[in-house]
């Protein structure tokens, strides 16, 4: 009995040593894979600027030949100063890192200048501050819709009144028809005519 116990203890210690050996080899083999590369970000002295508009909690980054919604443009930068020209007219100068400027709707060219930095955004189409207006605004902008094509207010109200009246008549006819059929089927099932 003591021999069996001693064998079990020996086998247990062997399996324990194998487990430790396998873990040790695994750590040695996979140790180089666990390193992560880290580096300091480069010290950038370059000036970076970008412009965007905002409409209904949506931000639209401005770029050449793009469309955006919003009544104001916001310019963010990390330069010492910037000069902003809109449609080749001087608009603003600031040393702050953020600048918001009201801008007219339609096509615009925006130029941002600093010491050794130029950011030119050309052919930006700005539309009013509501996203749902895009379709109507484009149609009016390109004269695809004329005010002669629009319906008169009196005519719209007359059509609305006729639609309401006809809807009521159709519903009344359908209800009467359904009730008429229900009453006829009830009478046919439950009452018998006396024939003489």
Confidence of residue 31 (pLDDT cuts 50, 70, 90): low
Sign (positive/negative) of CA torsion 53, 56, 59, 60? negative
3-state secondary structure of 60: strand
- Is 95 within 8 Å of 81 (Cβ atoms)? yes
Sequence-distant (6+) residues with CB within 8 A of 79 are: 47, 48, 49, 114, 115, 117
The two structure tokens encoding residue 141: 């902008």
Helix or strand (DSSP H, E) at 25: helix 2-30
Tens digits of per-residue pLDDT, 156-192?
788 888 999 999 999 999 999 999 999 988 888 888 7
Residues found in the chain: 196
What's the N-to-C CA distance of the chain in angstroms?
113
Question: The pTM is what?
Answer: 0.46
Report the percent of the chain where pLDDT is more than 70: 68
pLDDT at residue 150, rounded to an integer: 60
- Is 75 within 8 Å of 99 (Cβ atoms)? yes
pLDDT at residue 73, rounded to an integer: 92
pLDDT, average across residues 67-87: 90
Confidence of residue 42 (pLDDT cuts 50, 70, 90): low
Confidence of residue 51 (pLDDT cuts 50, 70, 90): very high
- Is 53 within 8 Å of 70 (Cβ atoms)? yes
Tens digits of per-residue pLDDT, 115-134?
888 999 999 998 877 655 55
């Amino acid at each position: 009995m003591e021999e069996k116990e001693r064998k079990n203890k020996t086998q247990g210690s062997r399996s324990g040593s194998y487990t430790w050996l396998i873990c040790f080899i695994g750590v040695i083999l996979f140790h180089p894979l666990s390193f992560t590369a880290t580096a300091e970000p480069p010290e950038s002295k370059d000036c970076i600027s970008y412009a965007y508009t905002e409409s209904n909690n949506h931000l639209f980054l401005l770029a050449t030949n793009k469309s955006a919604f919003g009544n104001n443009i916001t310019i963010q930068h990390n330069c010492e100063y910037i000069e902003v020209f809109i449609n080749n007219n001087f608009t603003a100068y600031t040393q702050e890192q953020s600048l918001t400027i009201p801008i007219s709707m339609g096509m615009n060219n925006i130029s941002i200048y600093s010491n050794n930095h130029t950011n030119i955004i050309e052919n930006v189409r700005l539309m009013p501050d509501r996203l749902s207006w895009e379709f109507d605004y484009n149609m009016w902008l390109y004269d695809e819709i004329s005010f002669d094509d629009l319906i008169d207010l009196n005519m719209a109200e007359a059509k609305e009144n006729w639609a309401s009246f006809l809807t009521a008549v159709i519903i009344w006819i359908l209800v009467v028809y359904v009730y008429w059929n229900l009453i006829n089927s009830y009478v046919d099932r439950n009452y018998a005519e006396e024939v003489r």
